[in-house]
Structure 1
Amino acid sequence: MSTSEFDKYKVDHLFLLIGENLLPNYVAANLLVNKDGTAYFVHTADTEIQAKRLQTELKGLKAIELLTLNDYESDAYYIQKEIRAKLESIKSGKIGLNYTGGTKAMSAHAYRTLFYEETKDKTYRQRADIIFSYLDPRRLEMCIDREDNDRIRLKIKPDTLPVELVTIFQLHGLELKQKPTQQVKLPKLATELANVLKEESKSKQWFDWFHNVFREQAYRKKSNGGGDWKSETSLIDVSTSLDKLPKEIVVAFQQEKFLINENELSLQQVQKTGSFQKNKHFCELLDGLWLEHYVLEQVKNIAAKHLIEDYGMNFKIVLTGTPGFQFDVAFTRGYQLFAISCTTTGKRDLCKSKLFEAYLRARQMGGDEARVALICCSNEPDTLKAEIFASTNDKKIAVFGREHLINLSEKIDEWITQVDREAK
């Protein structure tokens, strides 16, 4: 981590205003507190849990103190009284306030309290050497206030503060159902499927085979609707003809040694290769999970170029009392969250639903800095993007359709580059 640009603005005592999203506080505490300094988390009764959670995640800080405002987050007198009492206990060292989080009232009154200090003759003067700062989410910059009403902007580059995806989840108190995977399954097959889906005629061949041939043998429907894949003992007997499949997919199956009689897919053969722990997992991959693996492979292809250190797929989040939610593919670039929703459908309503869910959850977890994309089989990704923009007023959403599948690495590369341009 390179933080040399921030060194002259680091303080020994940093006051941070705690809000619902802890990511800006996490960034500020890591970048602006001296090695042996203390962070003071100014929180309300409603954000006490968040303050304690942040305290747990900031393992690199030696000293953290929680400063509660109880239920007085809008009470000017109480806010000033509590912060002033803490200031009087500080005998030496540079002081700072990062006012990115918290309420507007907390920001205004905390700023005022820290800006002025009381003299021996009971008058007030501007506090010397204090550092006021806030995080600009649009430019990915830490802004330092100056006495001349100007500001110093410090760019937070991807290698300045790499933040892992699991850290972002933990900052929000979210539990993952299982460890996300970084391992891409059957990349060659996924690539061939992407090639096939870019052409509507071959795409129809694939879906007709999957739903009307393979799924008919491997899926168990329930009388009251719904269903699931058959048991492992039943799946091992599934063997289906590939006569109606595009040749590219047949060759891909053959290369993975999944075939018998040169033109017949056998789940017993799949099991013998050891590619999957269960045949059910192979069925799920054919049912659309292959696209997530394909997208993850495209992200990995450009990871080094864009300083992407943490990435993965299948982030299933537990939410008490609800089905929870999932990020199909996600990565962090510095502390910025990129979430990608994937679907093999081209149906407009389903595409919109997937994208809206990813958009809302990504903004909730990654703040205004988060970026979201949908990868689907729509023939009209631009009009779909325009429709989403009309609902969100967010131009930063990306939509990649059927035509983009074959050169997806290039498109994701352009997307990230565009994000960089917007932040300048």
Structure 2
Amino acid sequence: MNSVMNRIEYLYLLIGTNPLSNYVVADFFLKHETNLKEIHFIHSTEDLENGIQSTEPVAVHLKSVLERKAGGVRIFLHGIRIKDSFSIHTDIRALLSGSEDFKNVQDFKNVHLNYSGGTKEMALHSYETFKDILGAAVTFSYFDSRRNRLKEDSGLEEPVESVFLGDKVEIHFDELFELHGYSTIPIDEQSGSVFSVEFFREFLDAIQNPEFFEDYLEWREYFFDVYPNPQKPIPADGKILLSDLLPPNFSISEILEKTVFLKIHHEMPEYSFLEERGGVYYLRTEISNKQTDKLIETRKYIVGHWFEQYVYLLLKENLLEKGLISDLDLNIMIQSATKNFEIDVAMINGYELFGISCTTDKTQSLCKSKGFEILHRTKQIAGDNSKSILMTFMNEKNTAEIDADLSDILEDRLLVLGLDDLFPKEKFIQKITDFLIL
């Protein structure tokens, strides 16, 4: 790309349905092309008769995000018809011929078209028209999103020049979601919610000890044997002690009592399973319908919803705070005009989105379905510039089988991890780090 850099003044990009590739290319040129004056987004116009949707909304979102970074560079939007080659040629020719800058083509040698976006027909016929009108005055490139490389297209069979963009462009969650017209309701770890990371920080730190983690798993099985229905709070007749729920033969019992049950009871009593009588803690008896819903949420947290916070905390301490990823968030609720969905944990490395689904389930069928779901969600947001991680409680054999099955289908866009991958902690972080740069 060195042959065309530092002389481009007018950058044109074809706009498709996923804006991230266009953002990456435009942001790169904004940062590295010192002579850049204008960016032009060429989008399709609506043609209901031929089943063509306009990509103008995508271009509008791109312009909104990039204008905050553009400095003195102006950004323009242009719509063209794409129903056939004649329409594309005609509208591109009108676009170029209608510009004051293109009246003397012989003196104009600083136009660049990146044709990564749009349909194949749009790319082909736009390329031909630009070349026909501008000749040697225009250069071309396309973005290989799978390899994260911007490749110069010289029109010759000689080796293609390219530049790796993975470490040259960054995006953050607010920008990524704005590109797609999404709004979010993030559950901030500092929000003060009873289910926040900071509220349960002592428990989450303690369970990073592999001995406590293993003991918790045994206690969890005991809990499910005694109270199998996940849609009901813990039943009580006024005689069940907290110590009955947390037998002393489990080393995790003391930690759960102090950092979970009693902490909730003293600081958020409406979520507490307990009542105190004479300095002794019993499981509460009188529970209203409103309280039942809150106690069910508490139960869900105790038996598994903490796991996504556990994963988030490990990534925050070992990747985000060390500068190895550029953004990290927890429990992201994404909203649009037509769909709402949630991602347990998400991180961004440069401009690549990694969606993480966390489940305490151990069955292959359910874990596999969650793997496909997180892949679908991350691709909705970031297209080919996305990968996914599935965190599970599966054993080593089941984890390896699902990882092998899905990797063959999904070209290594999904990493599947199980209980055996969590410890030692350094091994877990290394597996994540290796996947970041795969």
Deviation at 1:344, TM superposition (A): 0.8
Deviation at 1:282, TM superposition (A): 5.1
Structure-to-structure mapping, 1:4-43, within 5 angstroms: 8=5, 11-33=8-30, 34=33, 37-43=37-43
- Alignment match, 1:68: 79
Tell me, in whole angstroms, the C-alpha distance in 2 between the residues paired with 1:285 and 1:12: 55
Does residue 329 of structure 2 align to residue 307 of structure 1? Answer: no
Q: Which residue of the partner structure matches residue 197 of structure 2?
A: 184
Q: 1:311 Cα deviation (Å)?
A: 0.3
CA-to-partner distance for each residue in 1:283-314, whole Å, 9 max, x for gaps? 55324221111111111112355631210110
Structure 2 residue aligned with 1:153, among 152, 157, 162?
162
Aligned partner of 1:250: which letter?
S
Mark the CA change 1:17 to 1:245 in structure 2 (over 3 Å): closer, same or farther. farther
> Which secondary structure does the structure 2 equivalent of 1:127 belong to?
helix
CA distance in 1, matches of 2:7, 2:378: 30
Instruction: For 2:82 and 2:189, locate their aligned partners in 1 and report how far apart those are by CA, in whole Å.
Output: 42
CA distance in 2, matches of 1:289, 1:316: 16
Tell me the CA shift for residue 271 of structure 1. 3.0
**Shift in CA distance, 239/365, structure 1 to aligned 2, threshold 3 Å:** farther
Alignment partner, residue 405 of structure 1 = 422
CA distance in 2, matches of 1:292, 1:370: 20
The correspondence for 2:256, drawn from 241, 250, 253, is 253
- For 2:357 and 2:75, how far apart are their aligned partners in 1? 37
What does the per-residue CA deviation read over 1:36-81, in whole Å, with 9 as the maximum and x for residues that have no partner? 5222111112212211122222122342221111xx3142222122
Please report the TM-score for the alignment, with normalisation by the length of structure 1.
Answer: 0.78
Residue 419 (structure 1) shift: 4.3
Report the alpha carbon displacement of residue 202 of structure 1 after superposing the two structures with TM. 5.2
Q: Aligned residue for 1:123?
A: none
Shift of 1:19: 0.8
- Relative distance call for 1:179 and 1:51 in structure 2 (3 A) is farther
Q: CA separation in 1, counterparts of 2:13 and 2:248? A: 60
Aligned counterpart, 1:165:
173
State whether residues 176 and 318 of structure 1, in contact with CA within 8 Å, keep that contact through their aligned partners in structure 2: yes
CA distance in 2, matches of 1:210, 1:156: 49
Is this contact kept in 1: 2:356–2:388, CA < 8 A?
A: yes
2:246 to 243, 252, 274: 243
Task: Show the counterpart of 2:277.
Answer: none
* Contact 1:317–1:326 (CA under 8 A) maintained in structure 2: yes
Deviation of 1:114 after TM superposition, in Å, equals: 1.4
1:82 aligns with 2:91: yes
RMSD across aligned C-alpha pairs, in angstroms?
3.4
Give 1:208's aligned residue: 222
Seen in structure 2, the aligned counterparts of structure 1 residues 77 and 9 have a Cα distance that, compared at 3 Å, is farther
2:390 pairs with 1:382:
no
Instruction: For CA contacts below 8 A with separation 6 or more, give which structure has more relative contact order.
Output: 1
Bigger mean CA offset, 295-304 vs 87-96: 87-96
Q: Quick one: structure 1 residues 266 and 100, their matched pair in 2 at CA, closer, same or farther if it must change by over 3 Å?
A: closer
Shift of 1:25: 0.6
| Paired residue type of 1:50 | V
- TM-aligned CA deviation for residue 191 of structure 1: 4.8
C-alpha separation in 2, matches of 1:417 and 1:90: 51
- Superposed CA offset, 1:252-283 (max 9, x none): 23553x56xxxxx47422438x9xxx988755
Q: Distance in 1 between matches of 2:186 and 2:328?
A: 15
CA distance in 2 between counterparts of 1:113 and 1:169 reads 34
The partner residue of 1:138 within 133, 146, 149 is 146
Q: Percent identity?
A: 28
Deviation at 1:184?
3.2
Amino acid at match of 1:43: H
TM-score (norm 2): 0.76
1-structure distance, mates of 2:156, 2:263: 74
* Distance across 2 between alignment mates of 1:358 and 1:6: 40
Give yes or no for contact 1:114–1:127 (8 Å, CA) kept in 2: no
* CA distance in structure 2 between the partners assigned to 1:144 and 1:239 by the alignment: 71
Q: CA deviation at 1:356?
A: 0.8
Q: 1:382 and 1:177, CA in 2 relative to 1: closer, same or farther beyond 3 A? A: same
Alpha-carbon separation, structure 1, partners of 2:147 and 2:385: 9
Structure 2 regions of 5+ residues with no counterpart? 47-52, 102-107, 191-195, 272-293
Q: What is the Cα deviation at residue 146 of structure 1?
A: 3.0
Report the equivalent of 2:105: none
> What is the CA–CA distance in structure 2 between the aligned matches of 1:355 and 1:64, rounded to whole Å?
39
- CA distance in 2 between partners of 1:132 and 1:181 (Å): 45
Q: Name the CA distance, whole Å, in 2 between partners of 1:249 and 1:27.
A: 48
Q: Structure 1 residues 280 and 181 mapped into 2: Cα distance closer, same or farther (>3 Å)?
A: farther
Q: Which residue of 2 aligns with 1:175?
A: 183
Shift of 1:393: 3.6
User: Which amino acid in structure 1 is aligned with residue 183 of structure 2?
Assistant: E
Where 1:154 maps in the other structure, the secondary structure is strand
Alignment check: 8 A CA contact 1:6 1:32 kept: no
Secondary structure in structure 1 of the residue aligned to 2:62: helix
Q: 3-state DSSP class of the match of 1:8?
A: coil
**CA-CA distance at 1:387 after TM superposition:** 2.8
Shift of 1:84: 2.2
CA displacement 1:171-199 (0-9 Å, x = unmatched): 11222234554873334423544636864
> In the TM superposition, what is the alpha-carbon distance from 1:23 to its structure 2 partner?
0.2
Cα gap change, 1:398/1:134 in structure 2, threshold over 3 Å: closer, same or farther?
A: same
How far does residue 5 in structure 1 lie from its aligned partner after superposition? Answer: 7.5
1:344 matched residue in structure 2? 360
Q: Distance in 2 between the 1:271 and 1:7 partners? A: 62
1:123-177 Cα shifts (integer Å, max 9, x gaps): xxx323x23111112221211223543322111143x222002222221122223
Unaligned stretches of 5+ residues in structure 1: 119-125, 222-228, 260-264
SS class of match (2:361): coil
C-alpha separation between the residues in 1 aligned to 2:263 and 2:213? 27
Count of paired positions: 379
